[in-house]
A and B are shown apart, each in its own frame.
Chain A
Amino acid sequence: MATLGNLLLILIGALIFGALFLVFYFVSIYNGLVRRRNEFKNSFKQIDVQLKRRHDLIPNLVATAKGFLAHEKDTLEAVIAARSGAVTANQNMAGNINNKEGMAEVMKAEAGLSGALGRLMMLNERYPELKSDKTMNGLMEEIQSTENRIAFSRQHYNDVVTNYNSEREIFPNVFIAQMFNFAEATLWEITNKEERENVKVSFE
C-alpha cells in the first residue's frame, strides 16, 4: 500500500541520492582538473631538465671539436657565449611558470644557442676528419637526441596544456574551474624568428 508517507520517503531518498551523486560528480571533476594542472606543471619542469642536459653537453662538444677546428675559433666561442647566456637566463627565470618575462628571455637565449650550435654542426660537414671521429660521432648523437628531447618536451607540455585547457572549458567543468580559480595555461610558443627556422638540426 503506497501511502502518501511512503511516497514522500521515496522522494526524499531519491533527492538524497541525487545530491550525493552530484557531489561525487563534482569532486571527480575537481580532482581531474587538479591532476591535469599538476601534469602540465610537471611537464614544464621537464623542459628545464632537457635544457639542462643540453647545457651540460656543450662544454664536452666544444672541447672535442677544438682539436679539429683550430681555425674556427669564432664559431666555438659563439657557442660558449650562447650557452652561458642561456644558463643565466634559465637561472633568472628560476623555473617559475608564471614568470612570463623570464620565459621570453629563456626562449630567446635558447634560440640563440640553437643557432650557434647549428653553425657548429654545419662546420662538421666541411671537416671530414671531424665527421669520422668516434667521440665526435657519439657527441653528435647525444646532441641530436637532446635537441629532439627538447622539442618533444615542449610538444608534450603543449599537449598536456591543451588537454588541461579544454578540460577546464567544457561544460560543466567550466563552473568548477571558475569557482576554484583554475586559470588558463599558456602554450609554449616560438616567438623568435631565428628559432623557427632552426627547430630541427639534422646531422645525417
Chain B
Amino acid sequence: MNFFEHQRVAKKETYVLTLHFVFAVIAIIAISNILLFVGIEFLYLEGESLPWEEKKVYYLLFTCFQLLLILGGMGFKVLQLQSGGKVIARMLGGFPIEKSTKNLNQKKIVNIVDEISVASGIPSPPIYLLEGEPSINAFVAGFHTNDAVIAITEGAIRHLDRDELQTVVAHEYSHLFNGDMKLNTYLVGVLHGIQMISILGSSMMEMTSGSDNTYGIRRRRGGGKIWILGMLFHVIGYLGVLFGRLIKKEINIQREYLADATAVQFTRNSISLVSTFKKIYANDKSQYLKCGLHDVVGHMCVTEVNINKRGGSPHHTHPDLSERILRIDPSFKEESFLRNEIKSYKEKITLRNKESEPIHPNIMDKVRDELEGMEIDKSLILGSKVLMGAILLDPKANADMHDKIKDTIGNISMDSLGYSITLLDSIPVEVREYSQNPHFSKSLLYGIFLHLSHVDFNKFESEEQDVIDFIPKATQKIKSLERTKLLPLIDLCLGTLRSLSKKDKLAFLNNLKNIVKADKKINLQEYLYYSIVSAFLKKEKAILGGRVVKAKSLSTEIEYLISTMAHTGFPEDHEGARLAFDRVNKTKFDGKLNLIELENFKISLLNKNISKLKRLSLKDKELLIDACIILIKFDMRTLPIELEALRSVGAILEVPIPQSFLSEDKS
C-alpha cells in the first residue's frame, strides 16, 4: 500500500469508528429512556395508570432533559478545552522560538516548520521549544489552525537529524491538517456529556438514601425505587463512558496512522520517519514527557507521553511503535531489530547526549551576541538566568513609561540587555566575582539585609564558617554601593544560589528572615527584597494543572495589593494615595475596591495576601500589573521603592518584569 491508500484506510476506519461512537451515544440515550419508562410504569405507579396523553408529555420532557444534560456537559467540556495552543505550550514550560533567531539550531527548526508549511499548504504556527526535555517528542496544541502552536522537545532536536526532524514536524502538521484536535475535543466533550447521566444516577441515589433524609423523598412513596432507578442510570452512564473511551482510543490510534501516512505524503521520505521511530524505540526509557498535561496534549504527540507509575497497562493514545514502523516499512521485523540494530541506535543516543552542547533559548544568544567584544566575564551573565528578568533601578525614571513597562513584561529587548550589562559593569568587578561563589553570595545577601535593617546579627544557624567570616567584608562592600545596584546584585547572587539543595535554601531563607525580624520592625524595602529572594528560592518547577482562582474570589487580596502600591507611591501623603487609588479603582476594577488605611497595614498580612494572588489566571495577573503601573505613573515621579515593589510583585506572581524601560534615561 502506498501512503495515499494508508490515508484512505485510516480515514475510513475513523469514519466507521465515529459512527460506532454515535450509535453508542444513541443507544445509551435510548436505554436510559426505556429504563425510565419501565421504571415509571411498573415501579412508581404500581399499576395505577395515567392516561397515555399525559404520560407522553412526561416522557418527552425527560428525553429533552436528558439531551440537554448531555449537550450541556459536552458544551462545558469543549469550552474548557478550547484554550489556545499558546497557553498550553507555556503551561508545559515551552520557550517560544522567534522566527528571526540567529541560533543555527533554532533557525533549523524554524526553517523546517516553514518547509512543511509549504508542503502542506497550512500557514506555519508559532514554535515552542521544550527545553531540558530529554525525550524525543513533539506536539501541536490548540483548537483551531490559527491559534495552534507546535512544540518540540530538546531531545528531539538533539537526537534527530534534519530529515528526521522534518518527519516529526510533518507528523504534527498532519494532526493540524486532518483536524484531529477538534475531533478529539468533541469526543472528550461527548464522553463528559454521557458522564452526566451517571452523575444524575448517583445523585438520585444520594437523594433517596442516608438517614438525614434532607429531601424528604424517602418518606414519600417510592423512594427506594428511585434509588434503584438511580443506580441503573449510574451503571448505564458508567458503561457508556467505558465503551466510549474504548472507541475513542481506537479513533486516536487510527488518527495516528493517518498522521504517519500524511507525514510521508508531506516529506516523501519514509526512510527518515522509520529511523525516527527506531530512535524513539531505542530511547524508550525517556520516551515520556516529564511535564504534565498528558490528557490535553497526549493525543497530539508523536509518541506515547503517558506512563503508568503503578504498573499495569498504560493509558495508550498511540499505536505500538513496531506496528507503526511496519505500516511504513513492511519489511521491518521487530525481533531482528531488537537483536541487531537497537544497540547501535542506543549507542548513537548516548553519544549525542554526551557531546552535544545545550540548545540555548534565543535570549541567551542575544546576550551572547551582545557580549561579543565586550570585556565582561561571560560566564557571569550566562550562568545567571535570573538576569534575564533583571530589573535595574534608575531614580531618574519618569512618567510616560506605562506602555513601555507593559510591553517589556516577559519580553526582553536588546536595549534592555545592553542596559543591564552596562549597569552590571558598574558593579565593582570584585563584588561580581564574589557573587559567583555560593558561599560569598550568601554572605553578600546577608550583608544587604544587615545593611537595610541596621542591626548586628550573629545567630546564623547551619551556616558554614567561611560564609560567616565573610559577612563583615560583604557588608562593607554593600554599603559602598548605590541603591540602584542592589537589585541587580541580588539577581546575580540568586543565580548562583539556584544550585543549592532545597534544605540549604530553606535554612538560608530562615536566617534572612531572622535578620529582617531582628530589629522588631520591617520596612518596605526589606520586605520587598525578602519577597523577591524567597519567591525565587522557593520557586519549584511550575505545578501544572494547578487550580486557577477567579479574581472575584480574591478581591480582599487584590485590595491589599493595590492599597500597598498606592501607599508606596505616596509615603506620608494620605490624600495622594487616595487619589491614585481611586483612579485605578475606577478604571480597572469598576470601583469595587476600598482603600485599606495605613494604620491597618501589617506586613505579615501583605505577604499572606499577595501570595494567594499567584493562583490568578495570567490575564488577571496582567490586569494587576497594569494597575500597579498606572499607580506608579500617576504622580509623574517614580520612586525607587515603587519599582522595587513592582518587581517584587512580579516575582511573587511569577510574571517577569524586566526593567528595560528605564534604559532611555540612562543613555
What is A's interface to B at a CB cutoff of 8 Å?
39, 43, 46, 50, 137-138, 141-142, 144-145, 148-149, 152-153, 155-156, 159-160, 204
Contact = CB atoms under 8 A, between A and B. Distances in A.
A148 B121 contact: no
Contact of B121 (A50, A142, A144, A160): A160
- A-B pairs, top 10 by smallest CB distance, nearest first, are A145-B111, A152-B119, A152-B118, A148-B115, A149-B118, A153-B118, A149-B115, A156-B119, A152-B115, A156-B121
Chain B interface SS verdict (over half): helix
B104 A138 contact: yes
A156 B107 contact: no
Contact of A155 (B112, B114, B268): B268
B187 interface: no
Interface in B99-143: 102, 104, 107-108, 111-112, 114-116, 118-121
B104 A149 contact: no
B108 A159 contact: no
A138 B107 contact: yes
Contact of B104 (A137, A152, A159): A137
Nearest to A145: B111
Given A159-B265, A204-B161, A204-B162, A141 B104 contact: yes
A117 B102 CA distance: 24
Interface of B: 102, 104, 107-108, 111-112, 114-116, 118-121, 161-162, 166, 265-266, 268
25 contacts: A39-B121, A43-B121, A46-B118, A46-B121, A50-B118, A137-B104, A138-B104, A138-B107, A141-B108, A141-B111, A142-B111, A144-B162, A145-B115, A148-B115, A152-B115, A152-B116, A152-B118, A152-B119, A152-B266, A153-B118, A155-B268, A156-B118, A156-B119, A156-B121, A204-B161
A149 B118 CA distance: 6
Nearest to B170: A152
A144 B161 CA distance: 14
Nearest to A137: B104
Nearest to A203: B162
Contacts of B266: 152
* Residue among B111, B115, B120 with most chain A CB within 10 A: B115
Contacts of B120: 156
B275 to A, nearest CB: 14
A137 B120 CA distance: 27
Contacts of B111: 141-142, 144-145, 148
Contacts of A149: 114-115, 118
A1 B161 CA distance: 78
Given A138-B104, A153-B119, 15 more contacts: A39-B121, A43-B121, A46-B118, A50-B118, A138-B102, A142-B111, A144-B111, A144-B162, A145-B115, A152-B119, A155-B119, A156-B119, A156-B121, A204-B161, A204-B162
Contacts of B119: 152-153, 155-156
A144 B165 CA distance: 14
B114 to A, nearest CB: 7
A160 B102 CA distance: 34
B261 to A, nearest CB: 13
* Residue among A46, A137, A141, A160 with most chain B CB within 10 A: A141
Contacts of B161: 204
B152 to A, nearest CB: 16
A9 B266 CA distance: 55
A152 B263 CA distance: 12
Contacts of A144: 111, 162
A56 to B, nearest CB: 15
B359 to A, nearest CB: 15
B279 to A, nearest CB: 16
A37 to B, nearest CB: 15
Contacts of A43: 121
